[in-house]
């Protein structure tokens, strides 16, 4: 026979020819580097409740200090999207800043997590209005819940990145991270992002053949 | 080889969607087309597709051996000099490769002719491996085809085996990446990820735009996880020219496809193979544009950019007159001219190109792309095949 004897598709939950395939589910507990909220940090149980609070307090303070300030909600939303901004008082003045969307720990949990960096909503440039990117939809719906596995090959609801969410840093860099299920065993810090992919954006079709 | 009209399953969309095949229709046009199928004899498959595919792969390896230390060849292939050592080392280290697809012209008689080698970023994999496999099972079950038919398609099994052997020790952690905004590419990568998981690997996905660089020189995914092994459905010639190009060699990352595939995924290969093995039954005469030997080509020939995907910028000429062409963004690096294949299968106003799959450098599957024009484009339809009982 010149063809496969059986085909199992773990993600689609399809087994062609009755054969039991090993469960491919991954039960290993992973470290988390990104939390969207204090509640999520506490629920994950990887940092203590007071550590979570401390990290969020730090990030909140840094957020107000570092985030770009606007004089109107409209100006802020032009850059960060509708519903992504809030009012704050900074040095006695009324300002509008992009809301805190989450925190990112600078180091792995085994190292105590390190200082927390504030994460902001993605910019309109990274996630244009109406973007179908799951990361953007995740960010715009400001929900941290996982989309779960759809078992679809090639659809927009790809199984593996559905809980990815887009953010931006206070310096304006775009970032995509998975909260809750992010593994971060690296002791090295990220020095840059986005060094690949530029060529494809000057071509209309896919990068494959 | 025959083109056989077969009634599609009345619920074919549901049937292919249940497999997770989401791009059966692209921009409103049918891509998965089961209103016909191509029938082959076992001898045609083994003698005219499988054996030549393995032979061409060996020829390609011989060419790499030659090219790797020949700066003139590497320059002619428009590979940046800064990447030559990176490519050399990957070959000398014996970095394993996963898959590739030879596009062949074949009409059922005589030797198949190599049109090009999609060595680096081939797609059409999931529909080849899974969708046409399931189509055949159902066609035999419903009596549309006699029981006992077969298909040249061991892709699924071979991919799982190959993933387990790409890196030692296995299981290892594998990252997979492709561009955002391409359902087709994402579908291919999702399928490969499924195979990798079934091979027992710790497989993770990141879009290529998410990849970052760590302070220790390694690449990382969108979650800052270091990348040690990376399957990239993204061409080497682009990686070589982007911001992180200078970090490739020092990233301590095993790439799949390996860097040496850059030597093969280039239309210049066709001219060099012909130079090496002029008259080889499975090759078409081909030369770099501007080479005086182009004068010896058939009046009907094809002009192809060194880098091109999905038929873009390919022009079919007859005595200097353009018969067919496809617009596109490629061509800055130069062109080759290749004799038009005299044995392209044509029937019912359709042309068919065979895609002969290799996994771990072994021929193991076939797909057919059909188009109303002789240039296979990204609008071409995928038509299933079977081996007659």
Count of Cβ atoms closer than 10 Å to residue A198 Cβ:
15
Determine the average pLDDT of the residues in B347-351.
Answer: 87
Would you say B322 and B352 are in contact if contact means Cβ atoms under 8 Å apart?
no
Chain B residue numbers with beta carbons less than 8 Å from the beta carbon of A11 are 20, 190, 193-194, 197
Residue A196 belongs to a domain = no
Residues spanned by the domain of B105: 2-266+346-387
Interstrand relation of B254-256 and B229-232 (parallel, antiparallel or unpaired) = parallel
How many angstroms from the chain centroid is the CA of residue A136?
Answer: 9
Residue B321 belongs to a domain = no
Q: What is the pLDDT of residue A5?
A: 80
Q: Among all residues of chain A, which has the CA nearest to that of B243? A: A195
Nearest by CB to A10, from B152, B194, B312: name it.
B194
In chain A, the number of structural domains is: 1
Residue A199 belongs to a domain = no
CB-CB under 8 Å, B247 with A195: yes
State whether residue B16 is helix, strand or coil. helix
Q: What is the pLDDT of residue B105?
A: 97
Interstrand relation of B202-207 and B173-178 (parallel, antiparallel or unpaired) = parallel
Flag whether residue A182 sits within 8 Å of chain B, measured between CB atoms: yes
Residue A185 backbone dihedrals phi, psi, to 5 degrees: -85, 0
Would you say B23 and B187 are in contact if contact means Cβ atoms under 8 Å apart?
yes
Chosen from B223, B252, B265 to mutate, greatest number of chain A CBs within 10 A:
B223
Residue A198 belongs to a domain = no
Chain A residue numbers with beta carbons less than 8 Å from the beta carbon of B213 are 190-193, 195
Q: What is the pLDDT of residue B310?
A: 62
CB-CB under 8 Å, A202 with B210: no
Chain B nearest C-alpha distance from A90 (Å): 31
Higher pLDDT, B200 or B113: B113
CB-CB under 8 Å, B222 with A176: yes
Residues spanned by the domain of A169: 33-147+159-186
State whether residue A21 is helix, strand or coil. coil
Residue B254 backbone dihedrals phi, psi, to 5 degrees: -90, 120
Inter-chain contacts counted by CB atoms under 8 A, chains A and B: 238
Interface confidence (ipTM) of the complex? 0.87
Residue A137 belongs to a domain = yes
Flag whether residue A115 sits within 8 Å of chain B, measured between CB atoms: no
State whether residue B208 is helix, strand or coil. helix
Q: Is the pLDDT of residue B211 over 50?
A: yes
Residue B274 belongs to a domain = no
Q: What is the pLDDT of residue B145?
A: 94
Q: What is the pLDDT of residue B374?
A: 78
Residue A1 belongs to a domain = no
- pLDDT-based confidence at A113, cuts 50/70/90? low
For the entire predicted model, the pTM comes to 0.72
CB interface of A with B, residues 21-50, below 8 Å: 21-22, 24, 26, 33-34
pLDDT tens digits for range B271-324:
999 999 999 999 999 999 999 999 999 999 999 999 876 666 678 877 777 777
Residue B281 belongs to a domain = no
Residue A62 belongs to a domain = yes
In chain B, the number of structural domains is: 1
Nearest by CB to B224, from A184, A198, A209: name it.
A184
- pLDDT-based confidence at A199, cuts 50/70/90? confident
Chain B nearest C-alpha distance from A152 (Å): 4
Q: What is the pLDDT of residue A29?
A: 33
Q: Is the pLDDT of residue A181 over 50?
A: no
Residue A5 belongs to a domain = no
Residue A205 belongs to a domain = no
CB-CB under 8 Å, A133 with B222: no
Chosen from B224, B245, B304 to mutate, greatest number of chain A CBs within 10 A:
B224
Would you say B370 and B352 are in contact if contact means Cβ atoms under 8 Å apart?
yes
CB-CB under 8 Å, B190 with A190: no
């Amino acid at each position: 026979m010149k063809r496969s004897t059986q085909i199992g598709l773990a993600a689609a939950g399809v087994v062609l020819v009755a054969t039991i395939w090993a469960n491919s589910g991954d039960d290993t507990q992973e470290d988390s580097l990104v939390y969207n909220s204090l509640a999520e940090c506490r629920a994950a149980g990887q940092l203590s409740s007071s550590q979570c609070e401390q990290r969020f307090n730090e990030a909140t303070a840094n957020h107000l200090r570092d985030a770009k300030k606007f004089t109107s909600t409209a100006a802020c939303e032009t850059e960060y999207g509708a519903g992504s901004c809030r009012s704050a008082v900074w040095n006695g003045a009324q300002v509008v800043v992009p809301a805190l969307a989450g925190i990112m720990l600078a180091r792995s949990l085994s190292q105590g997590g390190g200082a927390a960096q504030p994460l902001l909503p993605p910019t309109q440039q990274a996630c244009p209005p109406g973007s179908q990117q799951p990361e953007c939809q995740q960010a715009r719906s400001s929900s941290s819940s996982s989309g779960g596995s759809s078992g679809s090959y090639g659809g927009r609801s790809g199984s593996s990145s559905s809980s990815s969410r887009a953010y931006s840093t206070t310096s304006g860099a775009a970032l995509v991270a998975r909260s809750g299920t992010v593994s971060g065993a690296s002791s090295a810090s990220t020095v840059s992002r986005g060094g690949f992919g530029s060529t494809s954006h000057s071509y209309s079709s896919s990068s494959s053949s | 080889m025959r083109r056989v009209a077969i009634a599609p399953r009345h619920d074919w969309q549901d049937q292919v969607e249940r497999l997770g095949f989401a791009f059966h229709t692209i921009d409103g046009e049918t891509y998965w087309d089961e209103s016909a199928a191509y029938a082959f004899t076992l001898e045609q498959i083994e003698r005219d597709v499988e054996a030549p595919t393995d032979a061409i792969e060996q020829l390609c390896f011989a060419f790499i051996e030659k090219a790797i230390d020949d700066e003139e060849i590497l320059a002619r292939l428009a590979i940046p000099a800064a990447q030559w050592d990176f490519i050399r080392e990957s070959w000398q280290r014996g970095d394993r490769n996963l898959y590739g697809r030879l596009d062949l012209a074949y009409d059922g008689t005589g030797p198949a002719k190599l049109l090009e080698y999609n060595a680096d970023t081939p797609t059409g994999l999931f529909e080849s491996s899974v969708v046409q496999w399931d189509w055949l099972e159902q066609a035999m079950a419903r009596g549309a085809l006699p029981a006992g038919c077969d298909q040249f398609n061991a892709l699924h099994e071979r991919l799982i085996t190959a993933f387990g052997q790409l890196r030692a020790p296995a299981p290892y952690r594998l990252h997979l990446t492709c561009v955002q905004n391409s359902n087709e590419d994402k579908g291919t990568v999702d399928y490969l990820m499924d195979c990798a998981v079934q091979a027992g690997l710790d497989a993770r996905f990141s879009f290529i735009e998410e990849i970052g660089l760590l302070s220790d020189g390694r690449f990382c995914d969108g979650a800052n996880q270091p990348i040690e092994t990376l399957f990239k459905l993204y061409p080497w010639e682009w990686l070589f020219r982007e911001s992180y190009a200078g970090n490739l060699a020092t990233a301590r990352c095993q790439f799949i496809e390996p860097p040496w595939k850059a030597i093969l995924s280039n239309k210049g290969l066709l001219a060099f193979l012909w130079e090496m093995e002029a008259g080889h039954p499975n090759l078409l005469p081909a030369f770099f544009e501007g080479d005086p030997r182009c004068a010896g080509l058939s009046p009907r020939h094809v002009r192809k950019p060194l880098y091109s995907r999905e038929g873009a910028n390919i022009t079919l000429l007859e005595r200097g007159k353009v018969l067919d062409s496809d617009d596109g963004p490629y061509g800055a690096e130069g062109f080759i001219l290749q004799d038009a294949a005299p044995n392209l299968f044509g029937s019912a106003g359709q042309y068919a190109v065979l895609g002969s799959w290799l996994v771990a450098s072994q021929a193991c599957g076939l797909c057919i792309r059909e188009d109303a024009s002789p240039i296979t484009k990204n609008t071409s339809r995928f038509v299933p095949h079977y081996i007659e009982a």
